[in-house]
């Protein structure tokens, strides 16, 4: 079944389970013998009532430590000395679950854009529940929690399986249905990939992926994840520092870009040009003005007369992304986002009520949620707006609504750790930890807790060491044995 690949190699200590078969809702296709990757922290309690499922966002993986590390640990939201924390990798992602990449590595060489089926948020949730119940022996969830795409999964868990399975729900910066605005950004990003000549309808060599298109898609996406104000404050009209330029050069380039053939040199220069390269190019242009590439180089030189800090940031982020993500997977997982609508009937069924009044069906769906729910919105989120979070909180009967006051935009749910941790921990622990994780540093380096008391960091470190030991045991223990069914 599963074989490691260059993307799964980026994730430490995850497990794989082989799912015998599942029927996808988009085309009724039965997929067989496919992998789901997951990672766990902590132990299942004897009563099996301490499970928290955390769902990752668009380009995340099952490794919560990697993207929500500050929320994971003793006395934090995801306290693995208390809870059994599980994150399952979404299908379509390159980090281990069924995806265009896993299919390629499974020997299905012809899996390109047209051949990989649409995998929906609902498919994820149904398959993940099978793994939770049948492999990990989990009868219900103390909580399911997710931000952005992860929030869509969390909402679908609640919608499909109700309060008997989902005891508590936490949704951050997400939506009850993917908006026209978000669908349009997804489409613009996919078009950037389609227009890369290396895309080849998705049938590219995995070592020669459409890097330029994928980088452009990520750069576009990043702009929607932050806010105008955060960019203005962070970069203003500053020029890129020499460190920033060097950082771009030292980044590991995908093989396609290393090869740098003359036909794509200009495109690569656009993405990768730096001060160092610019100077070399200028010299070359003067001394070899008749060379076949001189026109490209010269126009590139003019173009890069100034390199703004904001530009080098985007380019660096593009480079970083193509080194860790696959273009077909990006298409698949953005299509998954587009599929999200809590109210829509299962494909391909029609629901006359939905056709007539989708809003009413959606509101009715949310009103049927019985579990305590925490909705967290980001004040400056232009993608999953505050009004969408308000809509969730307004119609889910037993809900609380918190706003993160950040100018970082949508990605604040991954950046504003203290505030996000505080809200989730309070909700989950029902006030159990009065000392609070939120603390501030004093000038002398000591810490003061949220309640004004000193924070005993040594005590925390002791608890942490014990927890690390538990993780090691857990990785080789009950969860580690279960790699198949």
Ligand X SMILES: CC(=O)SCCNC(=O)CCNC(=O)[C@H](O)C(C)(C)COP(=O)(O)OP(=O)(O)OC[C@H]1O[C@@H](n2cnc3c(N)ncnc32)[C@H](O)[C@@H]1OP(=O)(O)O
Ligand Y SMILES: N[C@@H](CCO)C(=O)O
Active site positions, annotated? 148, 381, 410
Does position 148 interact with ligand Y (CB under 6 A)? The reply is: yes
Given candidates 121, 132, 149, 240, which one binds ligand X under the rule CB under 6 A? 240
- Token representation of residue 218: 């990520």
Does position 231 interact with ligand Y (CB under 6 A)? The reply is: no
Judged by CB under 6 A, which stretch of 24-32, 52-60, 131-139, 417-425 contacts ligand Y? 52-60
Does position 61 interact with ligand X (CB under 6 A)? The reply is: yes
Q: Which residues, other chains included, contact 62 with Cβ-Cβ below 8 Å and sequence gap of 6+? A: 11, 14, 37, 38, 39, 56, 87, 88, 89, 95, 96
Does position 324 interact with ligand X (CB under 6 A)? The reply is: yes
Nearer to ligand Y, 40 or 61 (CB): 61
Q: In a 3-state reduction of DSSP, which class is residue 236?
A: coil
> What minimum distance in Å lies between the beta carbon of 411 and ligand Y?
5
Partner in contact with 282, chosen from ligand Y, ligand X, none, beta carbon below 5 to 8 Å by kind: none
Judged by CB under 6 A, which stretch of 56-64, 139-147, 187-195, 346-354 contacts ligand X? 56-64
Does position 58 interact with ligand Y (CB under 6 A)? The reply is: yes
CB-CB contact of 435 with 448 (8 Å): no
Q: How far apart are the C-alpha atoms of 147 and 174, rounded to whole Å?
A: 6
Given candidates 42, 60, 73, 96, which one binds ligand Y under the rule CB under 6 A? 60
> What minimum distance in Å lies between the beta carbon of 316 and ligand X?
4
DSSP β-bridge partners for residue 78 = 72
Phi, psi at residue 197, to the nearest 5°?
A: -60, -20
> What minimum distance in Å lies between the beta carbon of 352 and ligand Y?
34
Judged by CB under 6 A, which stretch of 55-63, 69-77, 103-111, 456-464 contacts ligand X? 55-63
CB-CB contact of 283 with 211 (8 Å): no
Does position 407 interact with ligand X (CB under 6 A)? The reply is: no
Judged by CB under 6 A, which stretch of 16-24, 55-63, 204-212, 349-357 contacts ligand Y? 55-63
Q: How far apart are the C-alpha atoms of 416 and 224, rounded to whole Å?
A: 17
Q: Containing H/E element for 165?
A: helix 149-165
Write down the H helix ranges in 236-348: 242-250, 255-259, 265-272, 275-287, 294-303, 309-322, 327-339
Chain center to CA of 423: 20
Q: Which residues, other chains included, contact 125 with Cβ-Cβ below 8 Å and sequence gap of 6+? A: 153, 156, 157, 160
Partner in contact with 148, chosen from ligand X, ligand Y, none, beta carbon below 5 to 8 Å by kind: ligand Y
Does position 384 interact with ligand X (CB under 6 A)? The reply is: no
> What minimum distance in Å lies between the beta carbon of 228 and ligand X?
15
- One character per residue 400-419, x = contact with ligand Y (rule: CB under 6 A): -----------x--x-----
Does position 374 interact with ligand X (CB under 6 A)? The reply is: no
CB-CB contact of 206 with 107 (8 Å): no
Judged by CB under 6 A, which stretch of 51-59, 288-296, 354-362, 365-373 contacts ligand Y? 51-59
Q: Containing H/E element for 189?
A: helix 180-194
Does position 312 interact with ligand X (CB under 6 A)? The reply is: yes
- One character per residue 412-441, x = contact with ligand X (rule: CB under 6 A): --xx--------------------------
Nearer to ligand X, 109 or 232 (CB): 232
Does position 72 interact with ligand X (CB under 6 A)? The reply is: no
Nearer to ligand Y, 329 or 414 (CB): 414
Q: How far apart are the C-alpha atoms of 139 and 198, rounded to whole Å?
A: 46
Partner in contact with 312, chosen from ligand Y, ligand X, none, beta carbon below 5 to 8 Å by kind: ligand X
Write down the H helix ranges in 32-105: 64-68, 100-105
Q: How far apart are the C-alpha atoms of 339 and 332, rounded to whole Å?
A: 11
The CA-based angle 143-149-152, given to 5 degrees, is: 55
CB-CB contact of 316 with 253 (8 Å): no
Does position 225 interact with ligand Y (CB under 6 A)? The reply is: yes
Q: Which of 86, 346, 378 is nearest to 227 (CA)?
A: 378
First to last CA, the chain: 12
Nearer to ligand Y, 148 or 399 (CB): 148
Judged by CB under 6 A, which stretch of 52-60, 112-120, 156-164, 284-292 contacts ligand X? 52-60
- Token representation of residue 262: 């003359």
Q: Which residue ranges make up the site for ligand Y (CB under 6 A)?
A: 57-60, 148, 225, 411, 414
Q: Which residue ranges make up the site for ligand X (CB under 6 A)?
A: 10-11, 57, 59-61, 66-67, 240, 244, 247, 309, 312-313, 316-317, 324, 411, 414-415
């Amino acid at each position: 079944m599963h074989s490691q690949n260059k993307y799964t190699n980026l994730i430490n200590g995850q497990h794989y389970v082989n799912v015998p078969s599942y029927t996808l809702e988009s085309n009724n296709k039965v997929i067989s013998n496919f992998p789901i990757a997951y990672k766990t922290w902590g132990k299942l309690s004897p009563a099996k009532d301490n499970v928290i499922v955390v769902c990752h966002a668009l380009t995340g993986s099952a490794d919560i430590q990697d993207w929500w590390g500050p929320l994971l640990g003793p006395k934090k939201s995801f306290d693995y000395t208390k809870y059994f924390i599980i994150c399952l990798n979404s299908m379509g992602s390159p980090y281990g679950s069924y995806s265009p990449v896993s299919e390629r590595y499974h020997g299905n060489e012809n899996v390109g854009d047209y051949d990989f089926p649409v995998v929906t948020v609902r498919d994820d949730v149904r398959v993940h529940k099978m793994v939770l119940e049948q492999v990990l022996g989990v009868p219900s969830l103390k909580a399911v929690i997710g931000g952005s795409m992860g929030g869509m999964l969390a909402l679908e868990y609640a919608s499909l399986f109700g309060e008997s399975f989902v005891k508590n729900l936490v949704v951050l910066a997400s939506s009850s249905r993917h908006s026209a605005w978000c669908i349009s950004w997804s489409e613009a990003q996919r078009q950037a990939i389609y227009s890369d000549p290396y895309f080849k309808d998705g049938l590219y060599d995995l070592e020669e992926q459409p890097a330029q298109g994928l980088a452009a898609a990520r750069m576009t996406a990043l702009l929607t994840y932050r806010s105008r104000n955060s960019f203005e404050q962070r970069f203003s009209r500053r020029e890129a520092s020499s460190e920033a330029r060097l950082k771009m050069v030292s980044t590991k380039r995908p093989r396609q870009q290393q090869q740098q053939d003359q036909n794509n040199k200009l495109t690569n220069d656009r993405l990768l040009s730096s001060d160092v390269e610019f100077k070399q190019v200028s010299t070359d242009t003067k001394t070899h003005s008749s060379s076949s590439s001189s026109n490209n180089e010269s126009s590139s030189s003019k173009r890069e007369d100034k390199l703004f800090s904001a530009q080098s940031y985007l380019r660096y982020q593009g480079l970083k992304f193509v080194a860790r993500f696959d273009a077909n997977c990006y298409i698949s997982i953005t299509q998954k986002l587009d599929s999200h609508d809590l109210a829509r009937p299962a494909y391909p069924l029609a629901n006359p009520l939905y056709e007539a009044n989708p809003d009413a069906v959606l509101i009715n769906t949310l009103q049927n949620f019985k579990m305590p729910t925490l909705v967290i919105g980001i004040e400056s989120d232009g993608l999953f707006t505050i009004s969408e979070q308000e809509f969730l909180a307004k119609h889910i009967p037993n809900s609380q609504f918190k706003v993160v006051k950040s100018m970082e935009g949508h990605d604040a749910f991954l950046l504003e750790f203290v505030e996000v941790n505080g809200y989730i921990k309070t909700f989950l622990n029902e006030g159990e930890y009065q000392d609070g994780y939120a603390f501030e540093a004093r000038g002398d380096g000591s810490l003061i807790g949220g309640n004004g008391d000193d924070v005993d960091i040594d005590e925390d470190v002791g608890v942490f060491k014990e927890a690390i030991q538990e993780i090691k045991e857990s990785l080789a223990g009950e969860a580690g044995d279960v790699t198949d069914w």
